[in-house]
Amino acid sequence: MPESFDISTSSGCYRVSTGRGLLTEALRAREDVVILTDAYFSGILPTGIGKVIAVPALEGSKSLEQIAPIIAKLRELGAHRRTHLLALGGGVIQDIATFVASIYMRGIAWTYFPTTLLSMVDSCVGGKSSINVYSYKNLVGNFYPPAEVMIDLDFLRSLNAEQIVGGLCEAAKICYARSSHEYDLYLAESPAIKMSALQAERIIVRSIKAKQWFIEIDEFDKKERLLLNFGHTFGHAIESATEFRITHGVAVGVGMVVAHEYAKQRGFLTATGSECVLQLTTHIEQLLRELPPLAEELRRLDIDVFMEKFDNDKKHHADQYRIVIPKGDGSLELVSIARTEEGRSAIKAAFRAAIHRLADPTLIKNYLAIK
């Protein structure tokens, strides 16, 4: 059932809408518009639509070096301060569109059509851009919310198993971060690779509304919203260490398992907390088990390369690692770990244990069977 609700920001409200056929309606309604699209979808746009910038949805495309040609193309197409940018694609396109719209002629309005489950449940709201510089992931960026987010459920038909798993890992993380009750409601929707459009829509709306609380209480990532980095610091290092062969949502799923392993090894969880987090990581591992190539990729992952990427994460301090882990009753907490050999050894131990289990299909099957 189509939904529509507003998200408040310091610069005003923007509307989030779900439904079918929203892209067609938007193209019919707008005149002075430039479409920034994932190149994969450029073929579905109506013939003669005119002003289109097609960008490959690859990690390399959201680099600072690739932004200038997009800005130059906007100028060539005659875009001015009252031109509306319509962004069509997943997280890579969203990052590019947020950044470009915010700096082109000091800011133009834009609308976002997320096309992946991950972008529908997570990055479509919050107004945050993350741009790579050389080998440094998400080193620069800003906050620039869209004028509107339109979630066209017709795009769900284009998704493969990896994209669905990645999206569900993020949705599970957001709902868990909000509260155990919110996570229970997420599980009640029976999230799985094979879902109906109605199931998917309910999960999307639940995830966005859970994230809405973080956005509205901490718009600029200073306190509560930082908890949404659960799984991300490890996940970003995994992405980079595998040269992005493991995609973002899947890497975050693996990262949550590593974070749980770290909390468990360091004795940070009570018996109740252990049971609570285990419910989450069991669900995540069941999702990851649906991706057979993942085990081989994890087996090949070099821990020294992983630690190099982990060391360079922008969220760390000069003398401390900063990660989000479950503690106590299972609630998430941002903790600091001394950047010493002891601290590094503890992180490596958690990483090895989690990867060993995830990389061995037999161990995964046996581990889940006894829970």
Q: Is the pTM of this model over 0.95?
A: no
Q: What is the pLDDT of residue 365?
A: 46
Q: Where are the domains of the chain?
A: 4-158, 161-369
Q: What is the pLDDT of residue 369?
A: 36
Q: What is the mean pLDDT of each run of 10 residues along the chain (371 residues)?
A: 90 95 86 93 82 95 96 97 96 97 97 97 95 90 96 94 97 97 97 93 97 96 96 96 95 98 97 96 96 94 96 94 98 97 97 92 44 33
Tell me if 16 sits within 8 A of 7, measured CB to CB.
Answer: yes
Q: For the CA atoms of the chain, what is the radius of gyration?
A: 20
Q: What is the pLDDT of residue 362?
A: 61
Q: What is the pLDDT of residue 368?
A: 37
Smallest Cα–Cα separation from 18: which of 130, 92, 125? Answer: 125
Q: What is the pLDDT of residue 361?
A: 59
**Architecture of 4-158 per CATH?**
3-Layer(aba) Sandwich (3.40)
d(CA 52, CA 44): 12
Has domain 161-369 been given CATH number 3.30.70.260?
no
Tell me if 184 sits within 8 A of 225, measured CB to CB.
Answer: no
